[in-house]
Structure 1
Amino acid sequence: MATSDRIKALVSENEIVVFMKGDPDAPQCGFSAGVVKVLDAIGRPYVGINVLDDPFLREGVKEYSDWPTLPQVYVNGEFVGGCDIVRDMFASGELQALFAGESA
């Protein structure tokens, strides 16, 4: 399966996906840790994908989103952003609004 097809499958089959360095239990960079902290505060289940395990995936996700940095957060199949964007969206309530009216 092509890397872009793997990425598309992951983001379409899961409500929230984070392509990150490390995993949610052990982030391996401060930006990934920041995203995990925000998503844990929201309290919805999410899938963390460690891009350090797969160099093709690490580069492929950057091409897929046309976004040069990691982590990358996808909600309902759509690219949301990286750490700073996710933190700002959480602070403004915009991130939580993506789930308004839905039960966890």
Structure 2
Amino acid sequence: MSRTILEQARIHPAIRERIGRNHADLVGAVQAAVAANPLVVVGMAMNPFPRKARRILDQLGTPYAYLEYGSYLSQWRRRNALKMWTGWPTFPMIFVHGVLIGGTSELEQLIAKGEFPAMLSALRLAE
């Protein structure tokens, strides 16, 4: 997979640090949660899809860490930093052992294919 990102050489030196600091606290908090927890769901209030993903995981009895950042009306600029960091355009963002698996639809697909329980089992064996 290749994702096009503007080359550093094409960013004026005067703004490089500003770009690097753009909501770095939020990205750092998510990175820390992903490093500390086998399953992380990053969502936002008022969005039904993070709620649906959490409900699915609750029904499966699968523990997870949940991080919520604003709603449709707040913190959207901060959430953009997460979208730029991951390349994933929507919420939730679901991480299994540090790997972004996508959102609710992708979680449902992994469950339907029987891959999700295997991913979690592999995690338990590795710990």
Q: TM-score range by the shorter chain?
A: 0.7 to 0.9
How far off its partner does 1:32 sit?
1.3
Unaligned runs of 5+ in 2: 1-23
Match of 2:51 among 30, 33, 39: 33
- Superposition RMSD on alpha carbons, in Å? 2.1
Larger Rg: 2
Is the counterpart of residue 92 in structure 1 residue 110 in structure 2? no
Q: Extract unaligned runs of 5+ from structure 1.
A: 23-27
Q: Which consecutive segments of 4 or more residues in structure 1 shift more than 6 A?
A: none
Aligned equivalents of 1:60, 1:13: Cα separation in 2: 21
Normalising by structure 1, we get a TM-score of 0.79
Deviations 1:31-90 (A, max 9, x none): 112211221123121111111177254222211211111111001111111111111111
Q: Which has the higher helix share?
A: 2
1:38, 1:90 within 8 Å by CA — same for their partners in 2? no
Share of identical aligned residues, percent? Answer: 26
What is the aligned counterpart of 2:39 among 16, 22, 27?
Answer: 16
- 1:42·1:96 contact (CA, 8 Å) conserved in 2? no
Counterpart mapping for 1:78-89 below 5 A: 78-89=99-110
Bigger RCO (CA 8 Å, 6+ sep): 1
1:5-50 CA distances to partner (integer Å, 9 max, x unpaired)? Answer: 222111111111111123xxxxx32211221122112312111111
Within 2, Cα distance between the matches of 1:3 and 1:48?
14
- The TM-score, its normalising length taken from structure 2, stands at 0.67
